[in-house]
Amino acid sequence: MKEMYPKNGRVILHVDMNSFYASVEMAYDPELKGKPLAIAGNVEERRGIIVTCSYEARKFGVKTTMPLWEAKKLCPKLIVKSPNFDRYRAASMGMFEILRQYTELVEPVSIDEGYMDITESYEIGSPIEIAGSIQKRILEQLDLPCSIGIAPNKFLAKMASDMKKPMGITILRKRDIPSVLWPLNTNEMHGVGRKTAEKLTTIGIHSIGDLAKGNEIQLKTLLGINGLRIKDRANGIDSRPVDPESVAEFKSIGNSTTLPRDISNQQELFAVLDSLAETVSVRLKRKNVLASTLGITIRFKDRKTITRSKKLSNPIYQKDEISSAAKQLFIKHWNGNPVRLLGITGSDLLDHDDAYKQLDLFSYEKDAKKEPLLNTLSNLRKKYGKHIVETASSQRPIDPDHKVGTETSFNKDFLRSFPEKNKDE
């Protein structure tokens, strides 16, 4: 099988679960299969928003981020269920356990997708055979559909997995880029949101092919370093490795300032925090990352220094979000004495492409207006109230002696582990 693998270069898979939350509900209750199903918060309220929906519901025009009342108008027989994150977390764990039985190089991106580097897995089979085996086992053991992209790097693998849904397997080679990727609009490119696509049109870039051939000076002027990065992606260039430890990697970006005089006025100190937050926000954006933890440094008149940090529910990078979190920490830990120095640090950084925002049930309507929730589901992880969706990599490691081919029905196992009352939730 080794001849099926490149002599130089890598073979990367991107495994993306199809309509994950809805699919898990169908696996739990087979009577839902084949029916239009939507998962939504605030089910009893007209202002609820669709979080995800089945492909049967999509045929009626139901879409993610759509108001519940509108979805029901399009599809009167739409079945609506509230999220059950215990089920989704358990299904995610099962999915990643299966992936790790093929290679140790598995990088979770969110609860329902991850990258695999199978370059050294040639003894198991060809890339297409491995992808087929993974897809079949996830379906048989978890009763869940997935799509898989096969490519020489992460970006192309991600693009490939989006091309055939549900239950697709797509190979995307670098030689395919001009014919397959370049004709697509820029807003169909992973890592390019609606606003960025709109900005690109102002310099005559409408397709991925236009971007691939774009003027680097123009792109950098328009989008900063991100402009050059997405041009590389459009040309199929992506050197990022599949890193199983990336979700736990510790990095930080911060800024501090010694005040021109000792200050004890809260409003003046808040103004300093606003300024620091703006600088940190700019630096986070330049690095294309979000902060999962925010810390502050306070040095008092007597030079006593304290640092305090807080793990955030939602990874952040905007100035207002950073400023708000910093002020909350400051108020909690400031003793009222004059301050000589203030600092803000964002840490536990996540790459913007692979980060996700944990979405609160009580505020996601507002968030959905800012950015398509479908992308949020893929790139930004979510929080609904107290139910936090953990990364699968943070769960217990797979038993190293658990070999490929071991037939277990995780679907039945994890469903039996939940209280009977969940059937009605």
Predicted confidence (pLDDT) at residue 358 exceeds the cutoff of 60: no
The reported pLDDT for the residue numbered 45 is 54
- Low-confidence winner among 240-254, 282-296, 303-317 (lowest mean pLDDT): 240-254
Predicted confidence (pLDDT) at residue 419 exceeds the cutoff of 90: no
Task: Tell me the backbone φ, ψ of residue 53, rounded to 5 degrees.
Answer: -150, 160
Question: Binding site for Mg(2+): what residues are annotated?
Answer: 16, 112
The reported pLDDT for the residue numbered 412 is 32
The reported pLDDT for the residue numbered 400 is 31
Q: State the pLDDT confidence band at 292, using cuts at 50, 70 and 90.
A: confident
Predicted confidence (pLDDT) at residue 20 exceeds the cutoff of 60: yes
pLDDT single digits (tens) 103-137: 999 999 888 999 999 999 999 999 999 999 999 99
The reported pLDDT for the residue numbered 110 is 86
Residue extents of the structural domains in the chain: 1-174+390-425, 182-234, 246-351
- Calpha distance 69→24 (Å, rounded): 24
Q: Print burial letters for 276-302: b (CB count within 10 Å at least 16), e (below 16).
A: bbbbbbeebbebbbbbbbbbbbbbbee
CATH fit for domain 1-174+390-425, picks 3.30.70.270, 3.40.710.10, 3.20.20.70, 3.40.50.10800 = 3.30.70.270
Domain 182-234 has CATH 3.40.50.720: no
Q: What is the mean pLDDT of residues 37-41?
A: 90
Q: Is the link from the previous residue into 166 a cis peptide, with omega within 30 of 0?
A: yes
Q: What is the mean pLDDT of residues 380-406?
A: 34
Residue numbers annotated as active site: 113
Bridge partners, 81 (sequence order):
39
The reported pLDDT for the residue numbered 22 is 96
Instruction: Look at the alpha carbons of 67, 391, 310, 388 in this order and tell me if their dihedral is positive or negative.
Output: positive
Nearest to 143 by CA among 409, 423, 425, 424: 409
Predicted confidence (pLDDT) at residue 360 exceeds the cutoff of 80: no
Task: Tell me the backbone φ, ψ of residue 59, rounded to 5 degrees.
Answer: -65, -25
Q: Do domains 182-234 and 246-351 have the same CATH topology?
A: no
* Tokens describing residue 179: 């014919």
Predicted confidence (pLDDT) at residue 203 exceeds the cutoff of 50: yes
Under CATH, which number does the domain 246-351 receive?
3.30.1490.100
Q: State the pLDDT confidence band at 279, using cuts at 50, 70 and 90.
A: very high
Greatest mean pLDDT among 37-41, 46-50, 144-148: 144-148
Q: How many CA atoms lie within 13 A of 237 on its CB side?
A: 8
pLDDT single digits (tens) 300-339: 988 888 989 888 877 899 999 999 999 999 999 999 999 9
pTM score, whole prediction = 0.62
- Calpha distance 13→114 (Å, rounded): 8
pLDDT single digits (tens) 3-13: 788 888 999 99
The reported pLDDT for the residue numbered 15 is 98
DSSP annotation of 328: H
- Calpha distance 223→236 (Å, rounded): 19
Instruction: Look at the alpha carbons of 214, 219, 223, 225 in this order and tell me if their dihedral is positive or negative.
Output: positive
The reported pLDDT for the residue numbered 245 is 77
Element holding 367 (H helix, E strand): helix 364-370
